[in-house]
Amino acid sequence: MKIKRILFYLREFFFPAGCALCGVTLTSMDETWYGLCGSCRNDMLLCGGEEESCDLCGRPLISEKGRCLSCRNGEDRHFDRVITLYPYTGKYRKLLAAYKFNKNLAVGCFLAERIRESVRRLNITEDFVMVPVPPRPGKIRKTGWDQIEYLAKLLARGQAKEGKKFYVAVNNFRSKKHIATSAENIRVSRCLKRLPSISQKKLNREDRRKNLKGRILLTRTPPKTAIVFDDVITTGSTLDACAAVLKAGGAEKVYGICLFYD
């Protein structure tokens, strides 16, 4: 990891790209590692801080309590809870574009770290495994990479120590809980496969749900507790389809983490 940090620093020194958001010159090792200046990193506030969020889809609540109106009136979900990190607007939308479309791998390091932090908010006390949402067939051949798979590789680092137990004390209101969630004990299982289907972006809520029915397959035994992760959640159909397959295969709990909510 230290060698890669040095390589990122040298790359920025000889081929400066600047901060992915404001364009300012990156000077420190941390700035070049994350692809963001210190000021922009400090401004990237995770959802679920002081504001209340939906206990199912993770979106911030406006006037509702506990659960948003969309989740109350929608169909039953197969996932147990979803955490979202940022709104898909403004600077956050620009951040995803820098990573996903411009292939700014340093921003991937920033997002992977935010995912690790968000795992703690799920308050999972049992062993869990991260499951990436599978890419559409042919995507990697067409674009050269998959942004979720790259995050999976970053999250999987440290699996060699998976036999050890690490605990982080998390202050939850007035009490403290010990939650097994560190960079070292995160395991990743690529146990899902996606069959050809229409791009979800082109469909409405109902068609999105139908489009993925039977299109997500299980390729190996799923973990008992899974955390499925993706970049953007709109209707939640993709996460729900993944959760349905995992539970049908034997998973007992399926949570979700999405970088952005639309």
Q: Are residues 214 and 149 in the same domain?
A: yes
Q: Are residues 131 and 252 in the same domain?
A: yes
More confident residue, 87 or 74: 87
Q: Are residues 179 and 201 in the same domain?
A: yes
Q: Are residues 167 and 202 in the same domain?
A: yes
- Residues of the domain holding 7: 1-43
Average pLDDT of span 172-188: 50
Q: Are residues 21 and 55 in the same domain?
A: no
Average pLDDT of span 16-28: 96
Residues 6+ apart with CB under 8 A from 123: 170, 172, 177, 179
More confident residue, 173 or 242: 242
More confident residue, 5 or 164: 5
Task: Give yes or no for residue 163 having a pLDDT over 70.
Answer: no
Give how many domains the chain has, as a whole number: 2
Q: Are residues 101 and 22 in the same domain?
A: no
For the chain, give the mean pLDDT: 85
What pLDDT is stored for residue 93 in this prediction? 97
- What is the SS3 string spanning the chain? CHHHHHHHHHHHHHCCCCCCCCCCCCCCHHHHHHCCCHHHHHHCCCCCCCCCECCCCCCECCCCCCCCHHHHHCCCCCCCEEEEEEECCHHHHHHHHHHHCCCCHHHHHHHHHHHHHHHHHHCCCCCCEEEECCCCCCHHHHHCCCHHHHHHHHHHCCHHHCCCCCCEEEEECCEEEEECCCCCCCCECCCEEECCCCCHHHCCHHHHHHHCCCCEEECCCCCCEEEEEEEEECCCHHHHHHHHHHHHCCCCEEEEEEEEEC
Q: Are residues 79 and 21 in the same domain?
A: no
More confident residue, 62 or 126: 126
What pLDDT is stored for residue 48 in this prediction? 59
Q: Are residues 181 and 78 in the same domain?
A: yes
